[in-house]
C-alpha cells in the first residue's frame, strides 16, 4: 500500500487518504467528527499515526496543515443573513421536493406538473426539464457526490433515471404497483432504492436498469428510506408503525425496529452508521442502535405528530419537526433537549441542519422558512415571500445558499 | 398540510373516510364551495393554481375533499388526482351560459375516464344566487345528464356563496357512499 495524497473534507470534518493497493487506486477516510478549534492537533496527529500506518512520520507537516485548515473553517463564525435572490416561477402546479447536487452548483425541483427541472443556482436559470412521468414527480435526488445522474420517483408508479448532462432518460424502473414516495442512491451510485405506497421497497441496478431485490415485509406504505454512509445497509420507515433494517447485498431483513405507536414519518442514519433516527406520528422520535436493533432512547416533548427528523452531518445533533409548530434540537450523545425552536404559526413539515451544524432550517405551513441558532434556540431569520405553504427546503454543501419549494408553484433561492 | 399529510390522504382510505374530488371549469366556485363546507371565510378567494384539500365531518364520515384548479392549462393534470376517488363533485357556474358547452364536454370526458368508472357524480348547479342563473333542470337537459347510465348521479342547485343547497348535495354524497360501501 502506498499513499498517493491526502484530501481534506470539510463536512463532516475528515481527511481522505488516496492510496494504491495492488495497482489499484483506492481511498478511505479518517473521520474527525469531534474536531473543534480547541482540539490539540499534535496529540491528534500522534493518535492518527498510531492507528493508521499510511500516515507516516514524513506526513506530519502536511497533516498539521490540513488539520489547521479544518480548524480554521470550523472556527469561522457564521452570522450570514440570507436574502431572497430569486423567486423562480418554476412550475405550473405545486412543487413537491427540492434537492441540491453535492457542490450546490445546481438543484432540482419536482412538481405536480409531472416534470422535474434542473436549475443553475448561481443564475437561477433553468437548465433542463425532465419530462416523461405520467403523474406527480414526488421524490427526487442527485447521485451525490457524483452529481451526474438524477432519480425521480412518481405517483405514476415508476422511477426514472436521468442524465444530468443531456436530460435523457437512461432507464424507467417498472414494478411497483402504487405511488413511489421515497428514493435514494447508495453512496457508490450503483443502486437506487425506491419506497412505495404498495408497501414494498425495491433495489434497482443503475447500470442495467434491472430490479435487484424487492424488500417485502412491511404491512403498510413505505414512506421514508435511507442508505447508511457505507452503503451496506438500508433503513425503511412505514405507515405500519415499524422500521426495518436491511442488508443491501443480500436484500435480507436484519432487524425490525418495533416501538413506535404511530405511523413512521422519517428515518435516517447518522454518519458513522451506528445509529438510526426515526420520527413518528406518535409524537415521539427514537434513536436505535443499528447493530442490535435496540431502541436506545425515546425523544419526547412534542405535543403533536413528528413530521421530520434529521441528524447534523457529524451525527452529534438531532433535529425534530412537529405538527405542533415547534422544532427541537437534541444531543445525539445524551439525548437531552438542547433547544426548543418556537415561533412558527403552523406545522413544520421539513427540518435540516446547515453543514456546519450551527443552524437549523425549518419549512412550515405558515408560508415561511426559518433559521435558528442551534445553541440558543433563537430564531435568527424568517424567510418570507412564499404565498402558500412550504413543502421542502435544503442547504447547499457550503451552507451559503438555501432553496425552498412551495405549494405556490415557485421555488426560491436565498443567499 | 405538508407533503406527508398529502400521502396520508392519498392512500386507500378506511371505511369511514371518503375521498371526494371537486372538479369543474375555472371560476365555477369550487374553492368557495370547499371553504363553505369547512365553514371558512370566503371573502378573498383567488384562482386555484394547484389544489386545496380539506377534511370535513358529515354523518359519521370524514370527507376528504380535493379541490383542483380548473383553468384550461391545468385541466390535463386533473388525472393526477383520480386514484381512489369515492365520489366526484362537478361544479358548474349556472350563470355562465357561454361556457355550458365547454363544461359539458369536460364532464363527458371525465365520465369516460377508466379510473372514475362507476364513481357516483354530483353536479352542483352553482351560483343560483345570481339572477341570470339557469335552473338545474335546464342544465341537466343541456348536458344530457339523463344519458348517464353507468353510475348514480344527481344534480343539485346551490349557491356556494350563501350556502343554500350545499348541505342537500352533501347529504346525497353520504347516501351514495353508504349505499356503495354496504
Q: Does A39 touch chain B (CB under 8 A)?
A: no
- Interface contact A408-B49, CB threshold 8 A: yes
Instruction: Supply the pLDDT for residue A339.
Output: 98
- Yes or no, beta carbons of B73 and A307 under 8 Å apart: no
pLDDT one digit per residue (tens) for chain A, 415 residues: 899 999 999 999 999 999 999 999 999 999 999 999 999 999 999 999 999 999 999 999 999 999 999 999 999 887 899 999 999 999 999 999 999 999 999 999 999 999 999 999 999 999 999 999 999 999 999 999 999 999 999 999 999 999 999 999 999 999 999 999 999 999 999 999 999 999 999 999 999 999 999 999 999 999 999 999 999 999 999 999 999 999 999 999 999 999 999 999 999 999 999 999 999 999 999 999 999 999 999 999 999 999 999 999 999 999 999 999 999 999 999 999 999 999 999 999 999 999 999 999 999 999 999 999 999 999 999 999 999 999 999 999 999 999 999 999 999 999 9
pLDDT digit string (tens) for B165-175? 999 999 999 99
What pLDDT does residue B16 have?
84
Task: Look at residue B182 in the predicted model and tell me its pLDDT.
Answer: 63
pLDDT score, position B2: 86
Q: Which of B2, B80, B83 sits opposite A365 (nearest CB)?
A: B2
Q: How far is residue A97 from each of residues A78, B4, B130, measured CA to CA in Å?
A: 27, 11, 42
In this predicted complex, what is the ipTM?
0.89
Residues in chain B within 8 Å Cβ distance of A221: 7, 11
- Computed over every residue of chain A, the mean pLDDT equals 97
Tell me how far apart the alpha carbons of residues B19 and A260 are, in angstroms, rounded to a whole number.
28
Cβ–Cβ gap A112/B80 under 8 Å: yes
**What is the Cα–Cα distance from A321 to A363, expressed in whole angstroms?**
9
As to burial, measured by CB atoms within 10 angstroms (0-12 exposed, 13-18 middle, 19+ buried), residue A223 is buried
Chain A residue with minimum CA distance to B50: A93
Q: Residue range B155-164: average pLDDT?
A: 97
Catalytic residue among B16, B59, B71, B105: B71
B49 carries an active-site annotation? no
CB contact under 8 A, A155 and B51: no
Can you tell me the mean pLDDT for B30-34?
A: 97
Tell me what pLDDT residue A210 has.
Answer: 97
Read off the pLDDT of residues A303-348 as tens digits, 9 standing for 90 and up: 999 999 999 999 999 999 999 999 999 999 999 999 999 999 999 9
Which three three-digit cell numbers place residue A223? 414512506
- Say yes or no to pLDDT of B15 above 80: no
- Whether A176 and A191 have beta carbons less than 8 Å apart is answered as no
Instruction: Name the residue among B4, B10, B50 with its Cβ closest to that of A409.
Output: B50
Q: Using the beta-carbon criterion (under 8 Å), do B7 and A112 form an inter-chain contact?
A: no
Of B4, B8, B74, the CB nearest to A349: B4
Q: How confident is the model at residue B122 (pLDDT cuts 50, 70, 90)?
A: very high
Cβ distance of A92 and B49 shorter than 8 Å: yes
Q: Is the per-residue pLDDT at B132 higher than 70?
A: yes
pLDDT of the residue at B12: 61
Q: Which helix (H) or strand (E) holds A239?
A: none
Q: Transcribe A344-401 into DSSP letters.
A: -SS-EEEEEE-TTSSEEEEEETTS-EEEEETTT--EEEEE---SS-EEEEEE-TTSS-
Question: Which of A121, A163, A123, A156 minimizes the C-alpha distance to A142?
Answer: A163
Torsion, Cα A111 A114 A118 A122, to 10 degrees, reads -30
Residue B178: predicted pLDDT = 85
Closest-approach residue (CA) in chain B for A139:
B3
DSSP chain B: -HHHHHHHHHSPPPTTEEEEEEE-STTSSHHHHHHHHTT---SS----SSEEEEEEEETTEEEEEEEE---GGGGGGGGGG-TT-SEEEEEEETT-GGGHHHHHHHHHHHHH-GGGTT--EEEEEE-TTSTTPPPHHHHHHHTTGGG--SS-EEEEE--TTT-TTHHHHHHHHHHHHHHHH-
User: Hey, what's the cell of A140?
Assistant: 427526487
Each domain of chain A, given as residue ranges in start order, spans: 2-24+37-74
Query: Which domains are seen in chain B, by residue range?
Result: 14-181 (3.40.50.300)
How many A-B residue pairs are in contact by the CB < 8 A criterion? 64
- What pTM was estimated for this model as a whole? 0.94
- Mutation to test the A interface, candidates B1, B4, B9, B47, most A Cβ within 10 Å: B4
Q: How far is B139 from chain A (nearest CA, A)?
A: 31
Question: Cα B108–B167–B45 angle (5° rounding)?
Answer: 75
How close is the nearest chain A Cα to the Cα of B48, in Å?
10
Q: What residues of chain A lie within 8 A of the CB of B3, using their CB?
A: 96-97, 138, 349, 391-392
For the record, the C-alpha cell of B160 comes out as 356556494
Phi, psi values for residue A330, rounded to 5°: -120, 155
Residues A236/A248, Cβ–Cβ less than 8 Å: no
pLDDT at B13: 67
Helix H or strand E segment including A49: helix A41-51
Where does the pLDDT of residue B9 fall: very low under 50, low under 70, confident under 90, or very high at 90 and above? confident
Distance CA B16, CA A407 (A): 28
Inform me whether the C-beta atom of residue A183 falls under 8 Å from chain B C-beta atoms.
Answer: no
Q: Out of A92, A96, A409, name the one closest to residue B3 (CB).
A: A96
Amino acid at each position: 500500500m502506498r499513499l498517493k495524497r491526502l484530501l481534506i473534507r470539510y463536512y463532516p470534518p475528515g481527511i481522505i487518504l488516496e492510496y494504491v493497493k495492488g495497482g489499484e487506486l483506492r481511498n478511505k477516510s479518517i473521520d474527525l467528527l469531534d474536531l473543534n478549534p480547541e482540539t490539540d492537533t499534535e496529540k491528534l496527529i500522534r493518535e492518527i499515526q498510531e492507528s493508521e500506518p499510511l500516515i507516516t512520520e514524513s506526513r506530519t507537516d502536511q497533516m498539521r496543515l490540513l488539520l489547521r485548515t479544518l480548524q480554521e473553517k470550523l472556527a469561522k463564525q457564521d452570522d450570514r443573513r440570507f436574502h431572497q435572490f430569486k423567486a423562480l416561477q418554476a412550475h405550473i402546479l405545486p412543487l413537491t421536493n427540492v434537492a441540491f447536487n453535492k457542490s450546490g452548483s445546481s438543484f432540482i425541483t419536482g412538481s405536480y406538473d409531472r416534470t422535474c427541472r434542473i436549475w443553475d443556482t448561481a443564475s437561477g436559470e433553468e437548465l433542463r426539464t425532465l419530462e416523461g412521468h405520467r403523474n406527480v414527480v414526488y421524490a427526487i435526488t442527485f447521485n451525490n457526490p457524483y452529481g451526474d445522474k438524477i432519480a425521480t420517483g412518481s405517483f405514476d408508479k415508476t422511477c426514472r433515471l436521468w442524465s444530468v448532462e443531456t436530460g435523457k432518460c437512461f432507464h424507467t424502473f417498472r414494478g411497483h404497483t402504487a405511488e413511489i414516495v421515497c428514493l435514494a442512491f447508495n453512496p457508490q451510485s450503483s443502486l437506487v432504492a425506491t419506497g412505495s405506497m404498495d408497501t414494498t421497497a425495491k433495489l434497482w441496478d443503475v447500470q442495467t436498469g434491472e430490479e435487484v431485490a424487492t424488500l417485502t415485509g412491511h404491512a403498510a406504505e413505505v414512506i421514508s428510506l435511507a442508505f447508511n454512509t457505507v452503503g451496506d445497509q438500508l433503513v425503511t420507515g412505514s405507515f405500519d408503525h415499524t422500521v426495518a433494517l436491511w442488508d443491501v447485498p443480500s436484500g435480507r431483513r436484519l432487524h425490525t425496529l418495533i416501538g413506535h405507536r404511530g405511523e413512521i414519518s422519517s428515518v435516517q442514519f447518522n454518519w458513522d452508521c451506528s445509529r438510526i433516527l426515526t420520527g413518528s406520528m406518535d409524537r415521539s422520535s427514537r434513536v436505535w442502535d443499528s447493530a442490535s436493533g435496540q431502541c436506545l432512547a425515546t425523544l419526547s416533548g412534542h405535543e403533536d405528530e413528528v413530521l421530520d427528523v434529521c441528524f447534523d452531518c457529524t451525527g452529534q445533533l438531532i433535529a425534530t419537526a412537529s405538527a405542533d409548530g415547534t422544532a427541537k434540537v437534541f444531543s445525539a450523545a445524551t439525548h437531552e433537549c438542547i433547544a426548543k425552536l418556537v415561533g412558527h404559526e403552523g406545522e413544520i413539515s421539513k427540518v435540516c441542519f446547515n453543514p456546519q451544524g450551527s443552524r437549523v432550517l425549518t419549512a412550515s405551513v405558515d408560508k415561511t422558512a426559518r433559521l435558528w441558532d442551534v445553541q440558543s434556540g433563537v430564531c435568527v431569520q424568517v424567510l418570507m415571500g412564499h404565498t402558500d405553504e412550504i413543502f421542502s427546503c435544503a442547504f447547499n454543501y457550503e451552507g451559503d445558499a438555501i432553496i425552498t419549494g412551495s405549494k405556490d408553484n415557485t421555488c426560491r433561492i436565498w443567499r | 398540510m405538508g407533503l406527508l399529510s398529502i400521502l396520508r390522504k392519498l392512500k386507500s382510505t378506511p371505511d369511514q373516510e371518503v375521498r371526494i374530488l371537486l372538479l369543474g371549469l375555472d371560476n365555477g366556485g369550487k374553492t368557495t364551495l370547499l371553504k363553505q363546507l369547512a365553514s371558512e371565510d370566503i371573502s378573498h378567494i383567488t384562482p386555484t393554481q394547484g389544489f386545496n384539500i380539506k377534511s370535513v365531518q358529515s354523518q359519521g364520515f370524514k370527507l376528504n375533499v380535493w379541490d383542483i384548479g380548473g383553468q384550461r392549462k391545468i385541466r390535463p393534470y386533473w388525472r393526477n388526482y383520480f386514484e381512489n376517488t369515492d365520489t366526484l363533485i362537478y361544479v358548474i357556474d349556472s350563470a355562465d351560459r357561454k361556457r355550458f358547452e365547454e363544461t359539458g364536454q369536460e364532464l363527458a370526458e371525465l365520465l369516460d375516464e377508466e379510473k372514475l368508472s362507476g364513481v357516483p357524480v354530483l353536479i352542483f348547479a352553482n351560483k343560483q344566487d345570481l339572477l341570470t342563473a339557469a335552473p338545474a333542470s335546464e342544465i341537466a337537459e343541456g348536458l344530457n345528464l339523463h344519458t348517464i347510465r353507468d353510475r348514480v348521479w344527481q344534480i343539485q342547485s346551490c349557491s356556494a356563496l350563501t350556502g343554500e343547497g350545499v348541505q342537500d348535495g352533501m347529504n346525497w354524497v353520504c347516501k351514495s357512499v353508504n349505499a356503495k360501501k354496504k
